[in-house]
Amino acid sequence: MKTQEEKFSKVKLSGVGMLIFNFLFLAAIIAALVMIIDVEDFTPLSLILVIADIILFVIHIIFWAGFVQIEPNEAQIMVFFGKYEGTIKENGFFWVNPFYAKKKLTLRARNLDAEPIKVNDKKGNPVMIGQVLVWRVADTYKASFDIDNTSKTTANLGVMSNVNQKMKAFEYFVKVQSDAALRYVAGMFAYDNSENEDEKLTLRSGVEDINEILEQQLNERLSIAGIEVLEARVNYLAYAPEIAAVMLRRQQADAIISAREKIVDGAVGMVKHALSKLSEEKIVELDDEKKAAMVSNLLVVLCSDERAQPIVNTGTLYN
């Protein structure tokens, strides 16, 4: 992801040191005011000193606005009268120019467990598909200035902090774009292979490949907001309710056919082995008619759904 983020390189002092300085500065202002008031003769110079002391007190108050505390996986975007000056990601307690506007963002990873949505696959079949993804803010410049992070979803959040309002707006943006990406990816592939088609990649069979394509699509769509998708995967996939029963019967039929094919292949192999062993060990001589009867009986026994009866018709073997 191409980033427009810059590291803050302006004056940044230790917050603890400036905190001590500010308290000493306040003590000096108060001491100066007391000395001026204790003077017996209040002259115009005394008035000027009082005004100067008040101005210093106002400066002292302004200094308090320069303190910045940054916790792990947090960032402060610094703006000086509308100009972006950089981003502070270093953890700690600092003091900067109090006239900087500070925009706080969290860089911690977040989950989005999207509810299943109804989409059409490549063949036009309606399917229900859901996803879960892990995302985080990677470019603080784009996240702060390239998208509107005060969406209508945050209008009534009142007491919620400004940072949480921004993150809620990001979550809404991610949700909308993730739904669009999921619809796009689901429409590229069939749900599964039909009887007469051999799809190389389907939603059911190519889970890992589908997840990679989905993650790529999400990163392309969310890069405008400076958001990086760390992981994305499909966590729910099913036919839509209106066709689920029909497709279930088709899947059951496919399963039965597949099972029957394996049973028949195994039965034919067993019959072939039986005839070969009888011939090699010369247990009994069988002509073509007797072989056909034996094959018929063995296939009936081996391929039947019911258990074989105790008596099997092998009469032609001894006639």
Q: Domain total for the chain?
A: 3
Q: Which domain holds residue 271?
A: 246-317
What does the DSSP 8-state code read for residue 224? G
Same domain, 31 and 118: no
Split at pLDDT 50, 70, 90, the class of 133 is very high
Helices (H), 39-129: 44-63
Per DSSP, the residues of 8-24 read --S--EEHHHHHHHHHH
pLDDT category at 314 given cuts 50, 70, 90 is: low
* Same domain for 42 and 120: no
Same domain, 97 and 133: no
**Residue 7 within a domain:** no
Q: Is residue 144 part of a domain?
A: yes
Whether residues 114 and 234 fall in one domain:
yes
Strands 110-120 and 83-88: unpaired
The answer on pLDDT for 319 being more than 50 is no
pTM of the model: 0.69
Contact status, residue 144 vs residue 102, Cβ threshold 8 Å: no
CB of 122 closer than 8 Å to CB of 132: no
- 218 by Cβ neighbours in 10 Å (0-12 / 13-18 / 19+) ranks as buried
For residue 291, give the amino acid letter: K
74-80 and 101-106 strand pairing: antiparallel
Two structure tokens written together for 119? 């989409």
Cβ atoms of 201 and 210 within 8 Å: the answer is yes
Q: Please check whether residues 258 and 202 belong to one and the same domain.
A: no
Indicate whether 6 pLDDT > 50: yes
114 plus 235 within the same structural domain: yes
Residue at 2 is within a domain = no
